[in-house]
Structure 1
Amino acid sequence: MNVSRVGPRANDRTQVCRPSTRAHMQTIGFIGLGAMGTPMAWNLEEAGHDLLVYNRSDGPTEPFADAGIDVADSPRAVGQQADVVVIMVTDDEALAAVLDGEDGLLIGLDSETTVIQMSTVTPEATEAAAQTVQAQNARFVDAPVSGTVGPAEEGTLTVLAGGDDDVIDDVEAILAAMGEPIVRCGDVGDGARMKLFVNLLLGDMMSAYAEALTFGAAQGLDLEAMQQVVEAGAVDSPLFRIKGDLIAERDFQPRFPVDLQFKDLRYANEVANDVGVQLPQTAAARESFSAASAMGHGNEDMTAVLKYLESIADVTVER
């Protein structure tokens, strides 16, 4: 395809050296150009892969088209033209919509195609997708990612890979263009399970942190002093450092939106019910994120769960 970049960039990482040759590179089809998918797709292009993109709405594809990158008109067309297809969509329903139907990805697959499912979906949806893909004699890798928009732009997402080791070996360079480390989690479905594990912990931590800040602010404690105490002790974490700085600035621009965190906690609770595990803290965190969404903060960063707690306490966490 020999793409020269003439259009706008989703991110600019000129300090990172990327191979310029495209010899022997496979064509990668990328489905789902949201806040995460867009920089992931650019990283594949920067790594030298021939790229073909598809998104349900046209807007996100325009920078790729402007750069001379092919835009498919359906998931089916992606399957017909790509050697490897990456899927990065919102939820179980979106994954099913990509796969099924007369213009769905499944129709375009054959034994030469590998599908890498990188969306955050349930293990059940992942395993069902694998079965339908493999029924077309195509190969399947379960590889959701841990991280937000910043790591997606930097190519430092943690890849949670599940599936046949031989298949993962074959696509490892593709995965490495989007993230590191690549953690091998087990069979197909185990990547999805690991993703819910880490996002369960993320949601619980964010909810607890927001509660603690609200508790302190309601008593007149200084935000900077609270943050200093957190960072000096055993509870220090990158999450609290990063989100603390954003909260101090009242910056709720979406890095990982409330609605997506709520969705992941809902999935985690559903899986927990299936396997007979009680998640009382996660259930409470889910309700806090649900309430924040109901207040109109669903498209704001997950830190906006704080706004729900502030509204109850009639206090603002600020400098």
Structure 2
Amino acid sequence: MSIKDKKIGFIGLGTMGAPMARNIKKAGFSLGVYNRTESRAEAFRDEGAAVYYAPWELAEDCDIIIIMVTGPEALLEITGAIQEVLKTGKTVINMSTVSIDATMQAAEIVQSRGAEFVDAPVSGSKKPAEEGALVILAGADSRLLDELQPLFESMGRDIVCCGEVGYGTRMKLVINMLLGNMMASFAEALVFGRRTGLAFETILQTITAGALGSPLFKIKGQAISEGNYTKNFPVDLIFKDLNLVLHEAGKVGTPLPLASATREAYSGTVGLGLGNEDMAALVKYYEKIADIKIVDGGK
């Protein structure tokens, strides 16, 4: 059976999951969806997707089940809920950012039923998800990844084969550690520069024009200049991911002093009640502890 003839089930229709599921449907796949908040799933009915009201119902009816949830506990809850209907011929793909332990536990649950498991978290935020331009960090048998390539291409512009199951998660934690550290360094640079008297626009132009320029700094710098903290990748989730990183680092005996300091900065941002804002809101934490406003004249 061609992958185009298989029914795809998508569990988790949040900020990332909803546009990913829509791109699967746009690519011509048969799609079924489930979300704990039913209204998010119902929105897909008019787009031609089947709507399910329990994860096990979706898993029973679909050949390939994609899971895109917020963390390890949710992943294991879902895999436990669908376990009894899994069988040989079905494939479960976890695209959530979770711990290595949770990935391997989920894989064991799925594989114990004769189904196949793919570890495929993504790098990218809301806009790349909407554009089908995510980077997919896949961990699985190369044969299986080859079969799934048309499905992955509906959601992403690059598919990176990281190794066996568990190695996609390892790569995602590396990427998100770097992302968190970069955002923290950027926020510190903006606050320090403003405190010395530099104009915000001068700092931003210089950073983005030179060798240090990156899409992250350009996008987040523009958002900060506009005071737009609508979530693309919320503070709560990068804080969660940094906790996962430091947990894994402790297990393998690797000190991460910079990531540890970054985690504390995000913890402070959560403490300010900004967990549901975009990660760029980290700059508000630095503004508070430095007693300065970096936009609109500073102090």
Give the shorter-chain TM-score range.
over 0.9
The alpha-carbon deviation at position 242 of structure 1 amounts to: 0.9
By how many angstroms is 1:24 displaced? 5.1
Corresponding position of 1:58: 38
TM-score, with normalisation over the residues of structure 1? 0.90
Instruction: Give 5+ residue unaligned stretches, structure 2.
Output: none
Identity of aligned residues (%): 47
**Contact 2:138–2:161 (Cα < 8 Å) also in 1:** yes
1:26 and 2:6 matched = yes
Alignment partner, residue 181 of structure 2: 204
SS in 1 for 2:93: strand
Aligned residue among 28, 31, 35 for 2:15: 35
1:94 matched to 2:90: no
User: Aligned-pair RMSD on alpha carbons?
Assistant: 1.3
What is the CA deviation profile of residues 182-211 of structure 1, one whole-angstrom value per residue up to 9, with x for unaligned ones?
000001000000000000000000011001
Q: Quote how far apart the aligned CAs of 1:44 are.
A: 0.4
Separation in 2 of the partners of 1:180 and 1:164?
Answer: 20
Give the match for residue 249 of structure 1: 226
Q: Cα distance 1:172–1:219, how it changes in 2: closer, same or farther (>3 A)? A: same
Give the C-alpha shift of residue 68 in structure 1. Answer: 3.6
Q: Retained in 2: the 8 A contact 1:78–1:108?
A: no
Deviation at 1:313, TM superposition (A): 1.2
Q: 2:262 aligns to what?
A: 285
Aligned to 2:47: 67
Conserved 8 A contact 1:156-1:180? yes
Q: Which residue of 2 aligns with 1:239?
A: 216
Aligned equivalents of 1:24, 1:146: Cα separation in 2: 25
Displacement after TM superposition at 1:121 (Å): 0.5
Once the two structures are TM-superposed, the CA of residue 220 in structure 1 deviates from its matched residue by: 2.2
Matches within 5 A, 1:1-319: 25-100=5-80, 104-319=81-296
The one-character-per-residue Cα deviations of 1:110-150 (angstroms, maximum 9, x if unpaired) are 10101111000011111111111000000011000000000
Gaps of 5+ in 1: 1-21
Relative to structure 1, the CA distance from residue 23 to residue 256 in structure 2 (aligned partners, 3 Å threshold; closer, same or farther) is closer
Structure 1: 4+ residue segments shifted above 6 A: none
Aligned mates of 2:132, 2:149 — CA distance in 1: 14
Larger deviation, residues 214-223 vs 155-164: 214-223
- Asked whether the 8 Å contact 1:76–1:108 carries over to 2, the reply is yes
TM norm structure 2: 0.96
